Amino acid sequence: MTTETNIELAKINRAARVNNAKRLGKFLALRIVMLFLTIVVGIYITILIANMGGYVDTIMRNEIRERVNQQVAAMTASEPMSTEGRSDLVEQMIDIEETRLGLDTPFVLRSFRFLGNALTLNLGRAVHMVSDHGSRAVRNIILERLPATLLLTGVSQLFLFFSTVFLALMLSRHYGSFWDKLIITLSPTSSAPPWFYGIFLILLFAAVLKILPFSGMVSAPPPKETGAYILDVLKHLILPASSLILSSFFISIYNWRTFFLIYSSEDYVDMAKAKGLPSRDIERRYILRPTLPTIITNFALIIIGLFTGATITETVFLWPGLGRTIFRAISLYDTPVIVGTTIIYAYLLAFTVFFLDFIYAIVDPRVKVGGGNS
């Protein structure tokens, strides 16, 4: 090869690279804008629903009126005061309270302010709810509950993910065996949600056998030593975690197994078998490699799913997690808390979706960020 052709080639390469970079940049910009718009619309709809399209304002106004009336009645009980003076005082106090809560601006304007605050992660203050440390900041309320939720969902979902993928790989190796058939037979049991298994587990292990606690996260009073405390929490964790695991264990194995089987029936796998490659290599290079994007996507979605909590399981087991906080926030019409949890999830989801594109390109050489040469 001459130097000239080499230079020519390098030029073409550079042009292609610049072209690639341009396309990539355009694609990324478009992607970010689209994802952001998606979040904006999704969050705005959530804000509208959480405020009942402004009706929550009416509820809050009535609450304020009632509270102020009581306050004024108590304040002026022992002093002579005309009815008019009293009602003037009531109106004044209501005005102050409504201004404090921002109820003096129309809901449409406020809904956009809510949206702006949510998008800038300025979560604001809760209307009614207070964190255990006495803070009204939504951030504190959420952060306080997050560890408990992450403990529960993290332990169960990570265990679920790794154990089912591993078992599914084993099963796909000898499909049609007794264990394979057993899993297929058992997979319809996953139609029941975790709380359903939770109730049975409580019944069996707490009510009848009396070896595990009914609910909660620690005994009351909590043990003083750290070691004993951890053991106590783990003991309380067993039932809720197993109900979360149990409810999707078999279906997960079944789905992964079917997924691996589809890939292991490809011609190139047969070819590799014919060549006499060891089965370990076939599994790693020919089956796991092409399924990697799906596995990673699943894992990423599981990770962000950890942050939403498990509302009903937490309610059934009285687990002090985020899911229960959301439920409580909804029953208290505490919209800042509802919107706060939603926006966090929305951002996590958007980031994950965004980065998955890159991860695909890394693990799968056939995939190009920005969709190839089209």
Partner 1 sequence: MTNFKNTLKEISRYPSAIFGMIIILLLVALALYAVFTIPYDEAVRLWRGGEDTVYRNPKNAPPSWFNNFTDKSLPISVAVVAGEDEEFTKVVTPGVEGSSIEYEYSFDFQYDEYPQELFLYIQADYQVKNPFISVTLETPGGEEIRISDFGTSARQTYRFSQDDRLQTRLRRLHGREVLPIQGLFSVPESDPLVINKGVYTLKILASTFEENSDVRIEFVSHGLVFGMFGTDHMRRDLTTAILWGAPIALAFGLLAAASTSVITMLIAAIGAWFGGWVDELIQRITEVNLVIPFFSVLIMVGTFYSRSIWLILGVTIALSIFTGAIKTNRAIFLQVKESTYIEAARAYGASDGRIIVRYLVPRIIPLLIPGLVSAVPSYVFLEASLALLGLGDPTLPTWGKVINDAYTNGALYRGQFYWILEPAILLMITGLGFAMLGFALDRIFNPRLRGM
Query: Which listed residue (312, 359, 367, 369) binds partner 1 by CB under 8 A?
Result: 312
Contact 75, 86 (CB under 8 A): no
Query: Which listed residue (205, 214, 229, 299) binds partner 1 by CB under 8 A?
Result: 214
Q: How many residues does the chain have?
A: 374
Nearer CB in complex with partner 1: 131/187? 187
Of 271, 245, 90, 279, nearest in space to 172 by CA: 279
Q: Between residue 249 and residue 268, which ones bind partner 1 under the rule CB under 8 A?
A: 258, 261-262
48 binds partner 1 (CB under 8 A): no
Contact 90, 68 (CB under 8 A): yes
Binding flags for partner 1, 160-179, as an x/- string (CB under 8 A): ---------------x----
Alpha-carbon gap, residue 77 to 64, rounded angstroms: 19
Structure tokens at 35: 């994802």
52 binds partner 1 (CB under 8 A): yes
Contact 110, 47 (CB under 8 A): no
- Using DSSP, state whether 374 is helix, strand or coil: coil
32 binds partner 1 (CB under 8 A): no
Q: How far is CA 100 from CA 65, 75, 93, 151, in A?
A: 14, 21, 10, 38
Structure tokens at 153: 């969902």
Binding flags for partner 1, 56-95, as an x/- string (CB under 8 A): x---------------------------------------
Nearer CB in complex with partner 1: 70/189? 189
Contact 167, 253 (CB under 8 A): yes
219 binds partner 1 (CB under 8 A): no
30 binds partner 1 (CB under 8 A): no
331 binds partner 1 (CB under 8 A): yes
299 binds partner 1 (CB under 8 A): no
Question: Smallest distance, Å, CB 251 to partner 1?
Answer: 9
Angle (CA) 62-64-68 rounded to 5° is 120
Q: How far is CA 98 from CA 59, 91, 148, 177, in A?
A: 12, 10, 35, 69
Phi/psi at 137 (nearest 5 deg)? -65, 130
Question: Smallest distance, Å, CB 274 to partner 1?
Answer: 21
Query: How many chain residues bind partner 1 (CB under 8 A)?
Result: 53
- Using DSSP, state whether 113 is helix, strand or coil: helix
Query: Which listed residue (202, 217, 300, 322) binds partner 1 by CB under 8 A?
Result: 202
Q: Which stretch binds partner 1 (CB under 8 A): 4-12, 198-206, 222-230, 360-368?
A: 198-206
349 binds partner 1 (CB under 8 A): yes
Alpha-carbon gap, residue 188 to 182, rounded angstroms: 11
Question: Smallest distance, Å, CB 203 to partner 1?
Answer: 6
Query: Which listed residue (212, 330, 356, 359) binds partner 1 by CB under 8 A?
Result: 330
Question: Smallest distance, Å, CB 255 to partner 1?
Answer: 11
121 binds partner 1 (CB under 8 A): no
326 binds partner 1 (CB under 8 A): yes
- Using DSSP, state whether 125 is helix, strand or coil: strand
Nearer CB in complex with partner 1: 45/234? 45
Contact 62, 94 (CB under 8 A): no
- The H-or-E segment that residue 329 falls in is helix 322-331
DSSP lists the bridge partners of residue 137 as 125
Alpha-carbon gap, residue 161 to 245, rounded angstroms: 9
| Interface residue list for partner 1 (CB under 8 A) | 34, 37-39, 41-43, 45-46, 49-50, 52, 55-56, 175, 184-185, 187-193, 195-196, 199-200, 202-203, 206-207, 214, 258, 261-262, 308, 311-312, 315-316, 326-327, 330-331, 333, 338, 341-342, 345-346, 349-350
